[in-house]
Copies of this chain bind each other. A is one copy, B any other.
Amino acid sequence: MENSKVRRISKKDGIRTYSNDKDLVDSKRKEIINESTKVFVKKGYHQTNMRELSSAIGMSVGSIYHYVGSKQDILYLIINEAVIRPDDWISNILANLETSTSTMVLKEFIRSYYTSVDQAQNTALFTYQETKNLDRKSQKTIMDAAAEDVEACAKILRKGVEKGEFKIANTLLMAHNVIVLGHMWSVRRWYLSRICSLEDYIEEQTALIINRISTK
């Protein structure tokens, strides 16, 4: 049932395209993802049809399908972008582990993570909501990527424990806490933004965590 036409498989992410021009595909996809994110986040994936998407993007339906294999592919690209950190993000933070205290690194991690959640404009909530609309394989990819955040945080915590700065009964659980409380800023933004600023939020949650694990 595979399409025997001109379609090619772009190696990078396994998403089908008509075009072979890598740069063109990338730039067009950026347009598609940017606008689709807004519409999908606002209306929901299933509530948005290709026609709406097309007019929001300012690109014909046919054109969209030149740069993307399916509607689901767009969803995948959006969620993937929301979940993937820059390649150097974690290593940069972990790099400090040797020179700085774990407490400082953790604080930096939280600030950095929560700020990125804030800037990603509700895609954290969106990811919770729409990942299920992906096929199994993509779901796995996304969940693995998301798990990396927990693992990164866990690394920091473990180092702190090693160095005696932290005392933690269940390190992984605590890492999940850090991450989930970050997502909470996106998921409950409607309520939380009435209660406190992002700055307050970061400070409070940092204190919550540090207070629990610090040996000082």
A positions within 8 Å CB-CB of B: 1-3, 5-6, 18, 43-44, 46-47, 49, 51-52, 55, 125, 128-130, 132-133, 135-136, 147, 150, 169-170, 172-173, 176-177, 180-181, 184, 187-188, 191-192, 195-196, 200-201, 204-205, 207-209, 211-212
Distance of A52 from chain B, by nearest CB (Å): 5
**21 A–B contact pairs at CB < 8 A?**
A1-B1, A2-B136, A3-B43, A3-B47, A6-B49, A46-B46, A129-B129, A150-B191, A170-B196, A170-B200, A173-B201, A176-B191, A177-B181, A177-B205, A180-B181, A180-B187, A181-B181, A207-B212, A208-B208, A208-B212, A211-B212
B129-A132 in contact (CB<8A): yes
Specify the chain B residue showing the minimal Cβ separation from A147: B191
- Oligomeric state, in number of copies? 4
Specify the chain B residue showing the minimal Cβ separation from A209: B208
Specify the chain B residue showing the minimal Cβ separation from A50: B6
A6-B135 in contact (CB<8A): no
Which of B135, B147, B169 is within 8 Å of A204, CB to CB? B169
Specify the chain B residue showing the minimal Cβ separation from A2: B135
Which of B51, B128, B147 is within 8 Å of A187, CB to CB? B128
In the complex, chain B residues whose CB is within 8 Å of the CB of A209: 208
Distance of A58 from chain B, by nearest CB (Å): 13
Enumerate the 7 nearest inter-chain pairs by beta-carbon distance, A residue then B residue, closest first.
A44-B132, A6-B51, A180-B184, A46-B46, A208-B212, A6-B52, A128-B128
